[in-house]
């Protein structure tokens, strides 16, 4: 047995790889868990390749060396590898992620929300449901539409950069904040580097895509939200922990013209009775921006193509290094 499926949530393998099992004829359909490894470690001594997805177990270096001494690569058909990657990398095991595939639906979700926000969709629909047609007429002059307006992007990784690229089709101007964004990269993307203060003060829509780590927790607070333009919108598909949620609630309460679209919160979902549920200018979705249902098959496709490149000696596209983990989501 040289290649296995390893996942503590076995049903996720069936869901994500459903359309791809025929592409891996050498891999038996059995899905092993961390418990299986630890119970019978000698069974896996010859395993060289692991395929997984959401539910990949976090193992210690000692467990990896004991249970998977021949392991060369982990092929992860999902996005963030932060919870499990470091011990594998420390053992010399290569880790590959389908983060690029998982970025596609997040980009699509974000782009759709930006376009709707610039049209005033959320505020207009709220007033129309109340039968307040006159207020809707007045608000039409408060939203700029999708031509020549500033859009703020926080975090210019795989997702943020793709959002910026797609916004060019609408002749929208992108201002971006990312401590790791070089001048050369910004120029190649056709975006302007800006501070968080400038973004919140000058962009009608601000979308958060910053990687989640200790440095970014609580980085978005009242200092920034209070600077938001009239009739502006904040979108979060990054991580809820990056927002000081009490501060966002305060601004949404003080500023009914401001809208928040939150696909992520901290915790998820918000606690029962949280103000996010009752604020009319806060729109919640249950972490749906990432890959769902059929979209998950794209992740398996990407990671199997990466596996084929690796075993053929071709240049791989989605290998994760320890250095990358410092800035990746």
**Model confidence pLDDT, tens digit, residues 56-103:** 999 999 999 999 999 999 999 998 899 999 999 999 999 999 999 999
Which percentage of the chain shows pLDDT scores above 90?
Answer: 83
The structure tokens listed for 21 are 């099992």
Q: Are residues 168 and 198 in the same domain?
A: yes
Q: What is the spatial distance between Cα 305 and Cα 2, in angstroms, rounded to a whole number?
A: 18
How confident is the model at residue 213, as a pLDDT?
79
H or E element that contains 94: strand 94-97
pLDDT digits (tens, 9 = 90+) for 35-54: 999 999 999 999 999 999 99
Q: Are residues 151 and 264 in the same domain?
A: yes
Secondary structure (3-state) at 186: helix
d(CA 324, CA 319): 10
- 3-state class of 75 per DSSP? strand
- Stretch among 199-203, 290-294, 305-309 having the lowest mean pLDDT: 290-294
CA angle 233, 238, 240 (to 5 degrees): 85
pLDDT of amino acid 132: 78
For 272: left if phi > 0, alpha if psi spans -120 to 50, otherwise beta; the answer is beta
**Residue 139 pLDDT grade (very low, low, confident, very high; cuts 50, 70, 90):** confident
Which domain does 182 fall in, by range? 102-284
Clarify whether residues 151 and 31 are in a common domain.
Answer: no
Residues in CB range of 39: below 8 A, 6 or more apart: none
Helix (H) or strand (E) holding 76, with range, is strand 73-76
Co-location of 108 and 161 in the same domain: yes
Tell me, what DSSP letter sits at residue 67? H
Q: Residue 216 corresponds to which tokens in the numbers above?
A: 């970014």
Please name which of 302, 272, 214, 284 lies closest in space to residue 248, comparing C-alpha atoms.
284
Say if residue 82 is in the same domain as residue 169.
no
pLDDT of residue 260: 98
Task: Output the pLDDT for position 138.
Answer: 72
Domain count for the chain: 2
Cis status, amide bond into 288, omega within 30 of 0: no
Does residue 229 share a domain with residue 270? Answer: yes
Q: Say if residue 251 is in the same domain as residue 114.
A: yes
Residue 146 binned pLDDT confidence (cut-offs 50, 70, 90):
very high
pLDDT (0 to 100) of residue 130: 82
Domain identity same for 159 and 197: yes
Mean pLDDT in residue range 259-282: 97
Query: 190-244: per-residue pLDDT in tens?
Result: 999 999 999 999 999 999 999 887 888 999 999 999 999 999 999 999 999 999 9
Phi, psi of 263 (to 5 degrees): -90, -15
- Asked if residue 131 has pLDDT above 80, the reply is yes
Considering the domain architecture, whether residues 220 and 132 belong to the same structural domain is answered as yes
Are both 180 and 39 inside the same structural domain?
no
User: Is residue 129 over pLDDT 90?
Assistant: no
Q: How far apart are the first and last CA of the chain?
A: 33
User: What DSSP designation does 6 have?
Assistant: E
The three-state DSSP-derived secondary structure of 194-255 is: CCHHHHHHHCCEEEECCCCCCCCCCCECHHHHCCCCCCCEEEECCCHHHECHHHHHHHHHHC
pTM of the model: 0.88
Residue 289 lies in a domain: no
User: What is the 3-class SS of 32-87, one letter each residue?
Assistant: ECHHHHHHCHHHHCCCCEEEECCCCCCCCHHHHHHHCCCCCEEEECCCCCCCCHHH
């Amino acid at each position: 047995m040289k290649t296995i499926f390893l996942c503590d949530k076995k049903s996720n393998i069936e869901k994500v790889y459903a359309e791809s099992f025929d592409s891996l004829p050498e891999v038996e359909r059995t899905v092993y868990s961390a418990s299986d490894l630890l119970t019978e470690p000698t069974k896996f001594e010859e395993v060289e390749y692991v395929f997984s997805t959401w539910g990949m177990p976090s193992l210690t270096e000692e467990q990896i060396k004991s249970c998977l001494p021949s392991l060369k690569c982990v092929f992860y058909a999902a996005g963030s590898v932060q919870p499990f990657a470091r011990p594998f990398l420390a053992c010399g095991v290569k880790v590959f992620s389908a983060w690029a595939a998982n970025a596609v639906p997040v980009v699509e979700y974000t782009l759709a929300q930006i376009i709707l926000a610039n049209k005033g969709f959320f505020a207009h629909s709220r007033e129309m449901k109340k039968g307040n047609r006159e207020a809707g007429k007045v608000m039409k002059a408060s939203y700029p539409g999708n031509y020549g307006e500033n859009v703020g992007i926080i975090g210019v990784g795989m997702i943020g950069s793709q959002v910026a690229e797609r916004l060019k089709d609408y002749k929208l101007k992108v201002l971006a904040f990312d401590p790791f964004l070089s001048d050369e990269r910004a120029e190649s993307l056709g975006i302007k580097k800006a501070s968080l203060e400038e973004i919140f003060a000058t962009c009608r829509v601000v979308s958060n895509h910053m990687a989640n780590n200790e440095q970014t927790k609580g980085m978005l607070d009242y200092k920034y939200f209070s600077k938001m333009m009239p009739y502006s919108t904040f979108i979060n598909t990054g991580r809820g922990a990056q927002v000081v949620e009490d501060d966002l609630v305060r601004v949404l309460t003080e500023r009914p013209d401001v809208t928040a679209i939150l696909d992520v919160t901290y915790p998820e979902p918000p606690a029962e009775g949280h103000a996010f549920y009752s604020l009319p200018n806060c729109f919640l979705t249950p972490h749906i921006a990432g890959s769902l249902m059929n979209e998950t098959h794209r992740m398996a496709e990407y990671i199997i193509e990466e596996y084929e490149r690796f075993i053929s000696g071709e240049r791989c596209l989605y290998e994760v290094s320890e250095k990358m983990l410092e800035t990746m989501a």
